[in-house]
Structure 1
Amino acid sequence: MAILTAAFELTRDEGYRNLTIEGIAARAGVGKQTVYRWWPTKADVLLEALATKAQLRVSVADRGAYRDELDEFLRDSFTLLAIPGVTPALRSLMAESQFDPQFALRFRDGFLDKRRAALTEIVARARARGDAPEQMSDDLIADLVFGTIWCRILATDRALDETDLAVLRDLVDPAHIPADRRL
């Protein structure tokens, strides 16, 4: 865990371009060979650090209702992105994935697909209860949620807020929009 923490903190403090395996090892108090034993590149160390943060901080707990679980998932995701350093680190990993096809596969598998699977777990549970939107596929729900998140991460400097949460939630759960908010 010290290695993952070191990778994230160095990226936050000095930027991804200045991140090195040597720097990670020094900050974590381990040898460079220890880092290379587990991760082939600095991007892979940072990827695992961010995937671990997301897994620990974004709830997929059963709250008994799709809308409640979706609210918590979105709120936790937005809160994670507001942690200093997280959004720039994600931008860096996405950029890295555009230039390194092997890393792109690891990024998709180690982060993007895991985040989608977490949301799909919520939707599947809601479908079993009968309170998920019938007209939307799991993939479309994930595309709408993560398309919004990634667009905001990559194309703006605006944080996602409670208003965004409410609109996005209503978009992927239109059957439960309160009467006073319907068009």
Structure 2
Amino acid sequence: MPAVNSQPRRARSGNRRDEAARLAVLHAADDLLVEHGFSALTVEAIARRAGVAKQTIYRWWPSKVEILLDTLIEDSEKRLPVPTELPTADSIRTYLRDFAHFLAEDPAGKCLLTLLAEAQHDVATAARFHERYLEPRQIAEREMLTRAAEEGEVSPALGPEATMDALVGPIVYCALTGAAVPEELVDTLVEKLLRPRA
């Protein structure tokens, strides 16, 4: 007589993602990217590290780029949110300092830089990176800057889009070249480009 299983049978979830497995895949991709770089990152290695089947990954994500995008989006929302409260010159300055730290120290910052580099060589990566990450974040950053200007907190030297590009560009350049962001860089950018209210 077969043994009776006292545990209730788990309902099949079909294509719905198991949250623990999903997070394991995202963390594995992040870790492997930092350890071995993008070219050595494979779905097979991610599956091994996450303890899931390769087919599971392909059912949820069509490529390693999409996995990295999910990782970047999720980690950015948690660790580098665009301020939504009434922005001031000081809160924008803090955001830029956090951005510099994110690129230099956070594994998700490495993910952002990797996707930025890959986007220069692959049209599909560039399109997905722009659609899923860059454009939504740029819209939020421009809204932050516009609100600060409307409230008289700052007087941007350029339009919102050009100002944000000029603020984050030098920080990204430092990160891409492996240089530390000088402490005074963010202060200088804020003072010269945002011209905070005295």
Compute the TM-score of the two structures, normalised by the length of structure 2: 0.77
Work out the number of aligned pairs and report it. 176
Query: What is the root-mean-square deviation of aligned Cα atoms in Å?
Result: 2.2
State the alpha-carbon separation in 1 of the partners of residues 94 and 196 from structure 2.
Answer: 18
Gaps of 5+ in 2: 1-22
Alpha-carbon shift at residue 61 of structure 1 (Å): 3.0
Q: Which has the larger radius of gyration?
A: 2
State the alpha-carbon separation in 2 of the partners of residues 175 and 87 from structure 1.
Answer: 28
Gaps of 5+ in 1: 179-183
| CA separation of 1:72 and 1:81: change in aligned 2, threshold 3 A | same
Q: Which residue pairs with 2:137 in the alignment?
A: 115
Q: How does 1:33-72 map to 2 (within 5 A)?
A: 33-62=55-84, 64-72=86-94
Instruction: Name the SS for the 1:157 alignment partner.
Output: coil
State the alpha-carbon separation in 2 of the partners of residues 171 and 32 from structure 1.
Answer: 51
| CA separation of 1:111 and 1:171: change in aligned 2, threshold 3 A | farther
Q: Which residue pairs with 1:80 in the alignment?
A: 102
State the alpha-carbon separation in 2 of the partners of residues 127 and 34 from structure 1.
Answer: 47
Q: Which residue pairs with 2:127 in the alignment?
A: 105
Query: Match for 1:67: what amino acid?
Result: A
State the alpha-carbon separation in 2 of the partners of residues 20 and 84 from structure 1.
Answer: 21
Alpha-carbon shift at residue 19 of structure 1 (Å): 0.6
Q: What percentage of aligned pairs have identical amino acids?
A: 34
Alpha-carbon shift at residue 4 of structure 1 (Å): 1.2
Report the structure, 1 or 2, having the larger helix content: 1
Instruction: Name the SS for the 2:39 alignment partner.
Output: helix
| CA separation of 1:85 and 1:39: change in aligned 2, threshold 3 A | same
Instruction: Name the SS for the 1:136 alignment partner.
Output: coil
Q: How does 1:1-16 map to 2 (within 5 A)?
A: 1-16=23-38
| CA separation of 1:84 and 1:173: change in aligned 2, threshold 3 A | closer
Compute the TM-score of the two structures, normalised by the length of structure 1: 0.83
Q: Which residue pairs with 2:194 in the alignment?
A: 173
Q: Which residue pairs with 1:125 in the alignment?
A: 147
CA contact (8 A) 2:82 2:140 kept: yes
State the alpha-carbon separation in 2 of the partners of residues 55 and 120 from structure 1.
Answer: 17
State the alpha-carbon separation in 1 of the partners of residues 67 and 84 from structure 2.
Answer: 31
| CA separation of 1:134 and 1:172: change in aligned 2, threshold 3 A | closer
